[in-house]
Amino acid sequence: MSSIITITFSPCIDKSTAVAALVPEKKLVCATPKLEPGGGGINIARAIKKLGGAATAIFPSGGYTGKYFNHLLEKENIPAVIIETANETRENIIVVDEATNNQYRFGMPGTGLTAAEWKKCLLAVEEMSDVEFIIASGSLPPGVPDTIYALLAKIAKSKNAKFIVDTSGEALKHAAAEGVYMLKPNLGELSSLAGKKEIQPGEVKTIAREIIAKGNCEVIVVSMGADGAMLVTAEIAGIFKPPAVERKSTVGAGDSMVAGIVFYLAQGKDLTQSVQYGVACGTAATLNAGTELCKKEDADRLYSLIQSAHS
Ligand SMILES: Nc1ncnc2c1ncn2[C@@H]1O[C@H](COP(=O)(O)OP(=O)(O)OP(=O)(O)O)[C@@H](O)[C@H]1O
Ligand SMILES: [Mg+2]
């Protein structure tokens, strides 16, 4: 079994299509839809695979949509531990308006999980052997408590695994309070974690260090869109900015970044190298239209540029 696992409580089928122009009332002719398995940890496992690594995805799945979701993931050869649920897996719709090139993302509400179902997800994590990294990412569907990532943090500690969390709101607060190896908030998520309305880039280091000084987290990687990311630990702090690129779509940038960081950490690279590679993967994802994740060749090329800019 692979030593990286991801857990996603609210997976979805992403259905992408395009229309000549998005206008009300008229029947719109859509392009042939592209269906992809999605959701935070699912995308991270897929991106790790694209980079040449392997991660096992753990997730709940239900109904006919769930069966189709499992099939889509299987087609990509992503190892999976599937927890069958009573409710159907959700489907999201992404529509590109070709008249303006605007992308509209319609996210359906997460389908609820019962306590027995989310507990089975936790048990599946507990039962995995030789786990080095556990990545939890994504929103929580109805029925799953905000403390779920804190519960997973405890499991990670008992397994001696490094726990990486990419989430927001209350779930992020509970995870940070319990203590995790790494948090990957963006500026907005860091602000709400710190109880502030807004954070200026110049304040990031101090605020991240305050969260670390509470003794609960080791590493905070604050992503800042086109400005790259800041890596903060008790000892080190560094900002890594990607080269300017022609951005097509930022969908999947955060997931590709987390994938890149963990893919490098798993190969024994240091934190600086790993976060630089994460920035490269995040930026690589923006080179692709629609929901497509990073391509390895783009990530490797951008990484060389970031490394030489910071050496
Ligand atoms: N416009 C951009 N140009 C270049 N790189 C970008 C851009 N937007 C994002 N990235 C890259 O992707 C990384 C993560 O992006 P961002 O900070 O937007 O994360 P996020 O808000 O968590 O994204 P997501 O919406 O995918 O969860 C950035 O650190 C950067 O490397
Ligand atoms: Mg994000």
> Under a CB-based contact definition with an 8 Å cutoff, are residues 42 and 57 in contact?
yes
Nearest to 262 by CA among 176, 157, 135, 150: 135
Domain boundaries defined on the chain? 4-20+31-309
User: What's phi and psi for 52, nearest 5 deg?
Assistant: 110, 5
Q: Reply yes or no on whether 255 is catalytic.
A: yes
How much is the pLDDT for 245?
93
* Residue 229 CA, closest ligand 1 atom number: 29
CATH topology of domain 4-20+31-309: UDP-N-acetylmuramoyl-L-alanine:D-glutamate ligase (3.40.1190)
Q: How far is the CA of 154 from the centre of ligand 2 (A)?
A: 23
> Under a CB-based contact definition with an 8 Å cutoff, are residues 187 and 199 in contact?
yes
Q: How far is the CA of 279 from the centre of ligand 2 (A)?
A: 13
Which residue CA neighbors atom 16 of ligand 1 most closely?
A: 225
Q: What average pLDDT score do residues 221-248 get?
A: 95
Our mutation pick for probing the ligand 1 site, out of 192, 227, 286, counting the most ligand atoms within 8 A of Cβ, is 286
- pLDDT tens figures, 88-129: 999 999 999 999 989 999 999 989 999 999 999 999 999 999
Nearest to 283 by CA among 269, 293, 273, 291: 293
- pLDDT tens figures, 260-273: 999 999 999 999 99
Which ligand minimizes its atom distance to the CA of 277?
Answer: 1
d(CA 66, CA 60) in angstroms, rounded, equals 8
Q: How far is the CA of 40 from the centre of ligand 2 (A)?
A: 8
Q: Residues 97, 255, 298, 300: which is the catalytic one? A: 255
Q: Is 56 helix (H, G, I), strand (E, B) or coil?
A: strand
Indicate the pTM of the whole model. Answer: 0.96
Could you tell me which residues are beta bridge partners of residue 302?
A: none
Residue 2 predicted with pLDDT over 70 = no
